[in-house]
Amino acid sequence: MSKRKVGVLVMSYGTPESMDQIEAYYTHIRRGHPPTAEQLNELKQRYEAIVGGFFPLRKNTDRQVAALQETLNRNQTDIEFVCYQGLKHASPFIEDGVEQMVKDGLTEAVGVVLAPHYSTMSVGTYNKRAQQKAEELGLSIRFVNSYHLHPKLLEALSSRVENTLQKFGDAEKDEVRVIFTAHSLPAKILELNDPYVDQLMETSRAIADRLGLTNWQFGWQSAGQTAMPWLGPDILETLETIHKEENVKNVLLCPIGFVSDHLEVLYDIDIECRQTADKLGIHLERTESLNTDPLYMETLSDVVTAELERN
Ligand code: FEC
């Protein structure tokens, strides 16, 4: 008897494949409005500073999708899982992934986003686009909305914090401020009963509890360049404030909202935050990204399987 075959739409932010694709990518993020020459230049410079000829998010997403397929099929013997990529702002787009599943003859699928926390403005928009395309093509698809308190995810993040604490000297260790960070969003989500902020606080608190941390806080990073207010204060301002008002000299950043090495980690933290920390004389370290950590792959595998089994 042939096995039940289930498609898994693994959705991620997407990144350009080359420097000359940055304009089209940025235009897509801006919902079809091309950036000004100044905005484009500024983004190109950020990529130039990190990429050195390649775009890390693409390779990391490719690897995560392959590792998830392998993990799912190792854990489940009566179902064959086939993973497809669906990117938000680059090719293969979310709609392409859905279309490919249907072309390959699949009739049922589960969607999961490579971001643990739900917001209507992030995961919600991925799911909506996939749902629309699936309805159009007659594919039955269900979605994982969030997995921010999955024990294996918490274990992976906690052990990263623990390992990174070892990078501080014995005299510094007791005075390290751990700051959990995530991508800021427009502040209007606060009026929409959106779970994003609460879920981020829950993940932060759960890691702090596991490790018995008392010296920790949350910080926002990577706010967009738009006229509307974003959730803040921004991490750069937070570093200035805690240094000035509390004399904090040691900071460990743990970007819980991101699961991969990409622009927002490699530039916004590793270059921008580091510059600010150096200027202030703060010893700054950051936790390694999850990328294909087996515990993260197991987390995704568990939530996809659980979604499939849910009535
Ligand atoms: O490495 C890479 O090439 C891509 C890195 C990247 C990730 C990422 C994740 C999130 N974003 C989220 C929200 C927004 C909102 C806007 C916005 C704009 C940008 C721009 C770039 C960019 N984002 Fe992003 N984001 C990444 C990159 N993001 C580049 C455009 C320049 C800029 O503003 O810096 C504002 C859009 C608008 O103008 O309307 C909102 C959220 C996440 C985390 C969840 C997820 O991965 O989906 C939320 C990675």
Which DSSP string do the residues of 122-165 spell out, in sequence order? Answer: THHHHHHHHHHHHHHHT-EEEE----TT-HHHHHHHHHHHHHHH
For residue 262, give the ligand 1 atom closest to its CA.
Answer: 1
Q: How confident is the model at residue 53 (pLDDT cuts 50, 70, 90)?
A: low
Pick the range with the lowest mean pLDDT from 16-25, 82-91, 168-177: 168-177
Per-residue pLDDT at 171: 80
**Token pair of 262, please?**
């990409």
**Whether the predicted pLDDT of 183 surpasses 60:** yes
Using only C-alpha atoms, the chain has a radius of gyration, in whole angstroms, of 20
How far away, in angstroms, is 195 Cα from ligand 1 center? 19
pLDDT exceeds cutoff 80 at 80:
yes
Residues 6+ apart with CB under 8 A from 142: 109, 110, 111, 307, 308, 310
For 161-171, what is the mean pLDDT? Answer: 94
Residues 158 and 278 in one domain: yes
- The span from the CA of 52 to the CA of 48, in Å, is 6
263 & 280 share domain: yes
Residues 6+ apart with CB under 8 A from 219: 179, 180, 181, 233, 234, 235, 238, 253
Give the distance (Å) from ligand 1 centre to CA of residue 210: 30
Q: Same structural domain for residues 228 and 130?
A: no
Report whether pLDDT(1) > 70.
no
Regarding whether 178 and 64 lie in a shared domain, the answer is no
Tell me if 12 sits within 8 A of 88, measured CB to CB.
yes
d(CA 4, CA 232): 47
Q: For residue 76, how far is its CA from the centre of ligand 1 (angstroms)?
A: 34
Residue 91 neighbours by CB under 8 Å, 6+ apart? 14
Q: In this structure, are 143 and 247 located in the same domain? A: no
* Ligand 1, atom 5: closest residue by C-alpha: 263
Average confidence (pLDDT) over 164-189 = 94
Query: Domain residues for 233?
Result: 151-286
Q: Is the pLDDT of residue 60 over 90?
A: yes
Residue pair 287/254 in contact (Cβ under 8 Å)? The answer is yes
Tell me which of 230, 263, 269, 271 to substitute to probe ligand 1's pocket, judged by most ligand atoms within 8 Å of the beta carbon: 263
- What length is written for the chain? 311
Residue 54 scores a pLDDT above 70: no
Q: Is the pLDDT of residue 135 over 80?
A: yes
How is the beta sheet containing 283-286 ordered, strand by strand? 216-221, 176-183, 250-254, 283-286
Q: Are 236 and 242 in contact (CB under 8 A)?
A: no
Residue 172's CATH number? 3.40.50.1400
Q: What is the number of domains present in the chain? A: 2
Q: Which of 26, 15, 11, 14 is nearest to 51 (CA)?
A: 15
Q: How confident is the model at residue 15 (pLDDT cuts 50, 70, 90)?
A: very high
Shared domain check, 90 and 27:
yes
- Say yes or no: 303 and 260 in one domain: no
Task: Tell me what pLDDT residue 287 has.
Answer: 98
Residues 110 and 180 in one domain: no
Helix/strand/coil for 289: coil
Task: Pull the structure tokens for residue 4.
Answer: 């039940």
pLDDT the model gives residue 170:
87
What pLDDT, in 10s, does the model give residues 265-298?
A: 999 999 999 999 999 999 999 999 999 999 999 9
Asked whether the whole model's pTM tops 0.85, one would answer: yes
